[in-house]
Structure 1
Amino acid sequence: MEQHEEEVRLLLNYQEVEENSMEVFGQSTATMMVKSYYDKGGNSKWMGAFLQFVGFLILLPYYYISSLKKATRNDFNSNQSSSSSSTSMLALIYVTSGLLAILKCYFFSLGLLYLPVSTYAIISSSQLAFTAFFSFFLNSMKFSPYILNSLVLLTISSTLLIFKTETESEHLLKESKKNQVIVFICTIVASAGEGLLFSFTQFAFEKLLKRESFSAVMNMIIYQSVVATCIAFVGFITSGEWKGLRNEMDEYEMGNTSYVMNLVLIPIIWQLYSIGSIGLISEVSSLFADALGALAEPIVLIMGVIFFYETMDGIKAISMVLALWGFISYVYYHYANKTNSNAENKYTNQENEY
């Protein structure tokens, strides 16, 4: 029995490591590729949002095959108990999460279109603070001194960029000062939307779906993506952005082939991020998943300096240090909390043996 429990624990730890890697790699790489799309001539805001979800199509064959067989007894029991969940409740969960997902992605697309990717990355790190805020109300999360320290640092890190002065070598936007404020606010709203989505997803798993099986995670990914993709497609058509696609491809700086390859690879990489983030939310918590996402932001910032030749001025450097400090503060809290929990469980088990 003890050996079986140890094998399960090791398996879960291995899955968490995989999901950690998928989330960090997926978010940082996909963000850079979307920025490359905009930087080299792309202009469609709905396209940036559409690409984040349409990649669910590559999961359909695997999803269909896996649904035909029961991989584990846990999945079987979960599917049996799922009959108690009404169809209307499931539809509400998937539609709500899909709406939140596409709205935050549209605002994030605005940020990537107009802001330098380094500035965008630092602002986006504020989503950890929003996740903690919404988790307090939806998931009854308790605030420790380490979490409060993390939230304060991440908030200061993002708001510090408001006071960043524009230089001749780097313009925050392609347009007027008024639009600078608008897009800055849009990116903050997108970060808040990401925090709300993560917290709602955890709430759905724990309180509504009441299961955290592989099939539940896949259902969330697929149906959320279906709703978001449909909304993005409607927005893409009604906005008239589809009319400029041919011209956009012809004028793309890296050529037609690179344009097509970029649009094909972006959805695939975003799916890695979705699998990693939703998997971590179901197994650990929304705040932990978002903390791992915050780790990708400094990576994006550094890659922006290397690949897009963006300058690293004093304010950006300070913002990055504060963001990293806030992330480390949260990780230490999670580590200390898990260590104390393991120690208590070990002590309890020893008492039971006696």
Structure 2
Amino acid sequence: MITIVPPRPRSYKWWFRVLMYSFFVLAGQSVATLLGRLYYDEGGKSKWLATLVQLAGFPLVLPLYCLVAIKSRKEHDLGHDSGLCPMTSMPPSYKKLMFVYVSLGVLVAVDCFLYSVGLLYLPVSTYSLISATQLAFNALFSFFLNSQKFTPSIVNSLVLLTISSALLVFQSDSSSGSSTNGSMSRAKYMVGFICTVAASAGYGLLLSLTQLSFRKVVKRETFKAVLEMLIFQSLIASSIVCAGLFVSGDWTHLKREMKDYKLGEVTYVMTLAWTAIAWGIFSLGAIGLIFDVSSLFSNSISTVGLPIVPVFAAVFFHDSMDGVKVVSMVLAIWGFISYLYQHYLDVAELKKKTGRLASKFDKQGIANTATQ
């Protein structure tokens, strides 16, 4: 006799994790972006150092990883002692895991460097709005890699986000930088724009590949696997960026840069330290959302920060909020709400299917009891 087991509805623990990860993404991204702009505005010049602090916060999760690993080991031993069924799928080989970690680590290093260049040459509000194209690129890559369905709401969301970022190409020269040379300022603005769009594409690809790796290679739905993915890819990416810092010769100028920092040496160190911590929190939240929901949902949550970062940028860095930026922000928020509505429809449909399967399960159980 084949027993039909209906899918279980998402528990309060799942919702708590999703809310916690979402807060990590929003808070980490907003604080880190603003601190990154502060570093450049007050005298910081090293793109390699600005990239390194995006990655250097991963050791903060090592204590949590140790606790999770100890708990996982105890549960594993208990499972063998109590005669529980072993895992149905074989664990991945170390070669496959290392290939995944190295590949994603290289992509992370390149992506973070492009973001550093974009933040250097763009106002932080413009930078944040352009980054919304992550969602469009992620949806495109998820369509090919993770069988993401394109519903009318998702298509509408992607079109709005694309138009939102495309509008920023027509920003005036005055908002593109502080250089005295107008043509050079415009050139730097376009370099920053191109690098930010490329970084957004890379980040969308990274999230899709991470989700694909969990499904095809890692095959372990555990928080320990999430932490391992974050730690190893960050370690590899940090090593690559450190090598770039020394090969480029930027490290020889850091001592002078710290002394010349407008807010003082202590503030220089604290700015870099808190930027690293904020990005570490963001990464933990992003990978957690990929694990519990999807890469597209993880990316969409980061777009909620769109109305947060530009507003704070206008307050603290006096970024201009002209008509183009306001329209771009409205379209970006509209695009996110459209995607969120589609996620609501998906959850509602899942509940209906769960109810139908549960009803079928109960009827089958009654029929089997009657035949016995």
| Structure 1 match to 2:269 | 260
Distance 1:42 1:332 in 2: 41
Matched ranges for 1:290-309 at <5 A: 290-309=299-318
Cα distance in 2 for residues equivalent to 1:241 and 1:10: 49
Amino acid at match of 1:142: K
1:1-354 alignment to 2 at 5 Å?
9-70=11-72, 73=75, 84-167=91-174, 170-172=175-177, 174=179, 175-354=184-363
- The one-letter amino acid paired with 2:176 is H
Going from structure 1 to structure 2, the CA distance change for 1:159 and 1:280 (only over 3 Å counts) comes to same
Q: Is the 8 A contact 2:109 2:240 kept in 1?
A: yes
Kindly state the Cα deviation for residue 243 of structure 1 after the two structures are TM-superposed. Answer: 1.2
1:153 is paired with a residue whose SS is helix
- SS of aligned partner of 1:84: coil
TM-score (norm. length: structure 2): 0.89
- 1:208-260 superposed Cα distances (whole Å, 9 cap, x missing partner): 11122111101101001100100010011111111111111111111111111
| Cα distance change of structure 1 residues 32 and 345 upon mapping to structure 2, 3 Å threshold | same
Distance, in Å, in 2 between the alignment partners of 1:151 and 1:72 is 45
SS of equivalent to 2:337 = helix
Quick one: structure 1 residues 255 and 319, their matched pair in 2 at CA, closer, same or farther if it must change by over 3 Å?
A: same
Describe the superposition over 1:154-185 as per-residue Cα deviations: whole angstroms up to 9, x where unpaired: 00100111112223xx3346444333222211
Offset at 1:347? 2.5
1:47 counterpart letter in structure 2: L
Structure 1 138/74 Cα, relative in aligned 2: closer, same or farther at 3 Å?
farther
1:79 shift after superposition: 10
**Structure 2 letter corresponding to 1:265:** W
Q: How many residues align?
A: 348
On the 8 A contact 1:173/1:179 being kept in 2, the answer is no
Q: Which runs of 5 or more residues in structure 2 are unaligned?
A: 1-7, 80-84, 364-372
Instruction: Report the Cα distance in structure 2 between the residues aligned to 1:42 and 1:81, rounded to whole angstroms.
Output: 52
Report the equivalent of 2:4: none
**Per the alignment, in what secondary structure is the counterpart of residue 54 of structure 1?**
coil
Q: Using a 3 Å threshold, how does the CA distance of structure 1 residues 72 and 144 change in structure 2: closer, same or farther? A: farther
Q: Which letter maps to 1:328?
A: I
Contact 1:26/1:273 (CA < 8 Å) preserved in 2? yes
Distance 2:178 2:158 in 1: 27
Answer with 128-137 or 340-349: which moved more: 340-349
Distance 1:257 1:66, change over 3 A: same
Rounded Cα–Cα distance in structure 2 between residues aligned with 1:252 and 1:131: 37
CA distance in 2, matches of 1:65, 1:334: 33
57-66 or 228-237, which deviates more: 57-66
Contact residue 125 and residue 313 of structure 2 kept, 8 A: yes
Residue 298 of structure 1, CA deviation: 2.0
Measured in 2, the distance between the counterparts of 1:225 and 1:273 equals 13
> Structure 1 pair 27/74, CA: closer, same or farther in 2 (3 Å)?
farther
Q: Distance in 1 between matches of 2:55 and 2:206?
A: 15
Is the CA contact 2:164–2:331 (under 8 Å) kept in the aligned structure 1?
A: yes
Question: Are the aligned partners of 2:39 and 2:271 in contact in 1 as well (CA < 8 Å)?
Answer: yes
Question: RMSD in angstroms over aligned alpha carbons?
Answer: 2.2
Q: Which residue of 1 aligns with 2:368?
A: none
What is the CA-CA distance between 1:80 and the residue it aligns to?
Answer: 6.4
Aligned residue identity for 1:125 = A
Tell me if structure 2 keeps the 8 A contact 1:115–1:173: no
Letter of the structure 1 residue corresponding to residue 286 of structure 2: S
Query: Does the aligned pair in 2 maintain the 1:111–1:184 contact within 8 Å?
Result: yes
| CA distance in 2: counterparts of 1:75 and 1:235, whole angstroms | 44
The Cα shift of 1:352 comes to 2.2
CA contact (8 A) 1:75 1:213 kept: no
> SS of 2:39's equivalent?
helix
- SS of equivalent residue, structure 2 residue 11: helix
Q: CA deviation at 1:312?
A: 0.5
Q: Give the number of the structure whose alpha-carbon radius of gyration is greater.
A: 2
2:68 and 2:36 mapped to 1: Cα distance? 31
Q: Distance in 2 between matches of 1:76 and 1:104?
A: 42
Kindly indicate whether the alpha-carbon contact (under 8 Å) linking 1:121 and 1:298 is maintained by their aligned counterparts in 2.
Answer: no
